Amino acid sequence: MTSGDCVEPEWDAFISHASEDKDAFVRPLAMALMSLGARVWYDETSLSLGDSLSQSIDKGLARSRYGVVVISPNFMAKAWAQHELSGLWTRDLHGHGRILPIWHGVDRETVAAFSPTLADRVALITAGGEAEDIALKILAEVRPDLRAARPRAELIANADRLAMESLQAEIGELRERLSEFQCPICGAELAFQIEAPIDEEEKHWDLRRTFACGYQDFAGDVEAECRLSEKTG
């Protein structure tokens, strides 16, 4: 028995997954579980700037009661998947944690080719199911006390609320990234931009941007006003 096996579990579940599956399934699953009260080790919320990735993952593996493994074609193609899976199997065999497999876009034959032992485990299947429904089934296993404490409708409502807040945050970040491609006055899209010199010696260059509304700026100075704002003003 290693020293890590004696450490009190810090998380209810560790989510092992491929980054390509985040947007479609893993992030909504993790957010739903956390909104339901489960303590989840999930890279986007458990890692901080400057953390050692391998050390943080090993710590998450060692201090989680369950290992939720999202098995997908993307996951099976990752070299590090075997490392995380080996850590989870070791804890499972020694009674320090259980593996809860989720099949995401795979069937038994595919999983068996990747890991015959894993294919023998009863798994949750994402096909036709929402992340929130999968989260409730996982919650019943990892935290039956939380699952029994509130009715399903209330749990789903909480999961949906957190998912909506996460979506709104993503939309806000996307809008901020897109703002440089929109007129700062009316929001019209960028028509074209070109680099041009800002001094006679042509030593310094900057972007001249022209938007669909006629607004034009260059090196921070407005060269043409927004025609749409003039109409509505």
All residues at 6 or more sequence positions from 70 whose CB lies less than 8 Å from its CB, including other chains: 15, 16, 17, 18, 21, 25, 26, 29, 102, 104
Q: For 224, phi and psi rounded to 5 degrees?
A: -145, 135
Instruction: With CA atoms as reference, report the closest residue to 189 among 179, 200, 181, 178.
Output: 181
Q: State the amino acid at position 162 in one-letter form.
A: L
Our answer to whether residue 109 is catalytic in this structure is: no
Name the catalytic one among 10, 84, 180, 195: 84
Q: Which residues pair with 222 in a beta bridge?
A: 217
Give the residue numbers marked as catalytic: 84
